Amino acid sequence: MVGLDLPSVDYLDSKKLPARNKLSGCGIHILEELVLDGLEPGLYDLAALPLA
């Protein structure tokens, strides 16, 4: 899994989504728009459920 604080791994105007397709093709899940401001260092459990 790769997590980032951006809305997309590709350019926002991208139609072909090359980065998303490459990561997905390698079995790497993408978690976008993470907001971790103010989070204290430590060990955490992550539950990333799919949207309906």
- The answer on pLDDT for 52 being more than 80 is no
- DSSP track, 11-45: -TT-SS-HHHHHHHHTT--EE-S---TTPPSS---
**What mean pLDDT is predicted for residues 30-36?**
92
Burial label, 8 (beta-carbon count in 10 A; 0-12, 13-18, 19+): middle
Tokens found for residue 43: 């060990």
**What mean pLDDT is predicted for residues 10-20?**
96
Q: Name the band, by pLDDT with cuts 50, 70 and 90, for residue 20.
A: very high
Question: Which pLDDT belongs to residue 49?
Answer: 85
Question: Which pLDDT belongs to residue 51?
Answer: 76
Would you kindly state where each structural domain of the chain is located, as residue ranges? 2-31
d(CA 5, CA 52): 21
The structure's pTM equals 0.74
**What mean pLDDT is predicted for residues 33-41?**
92
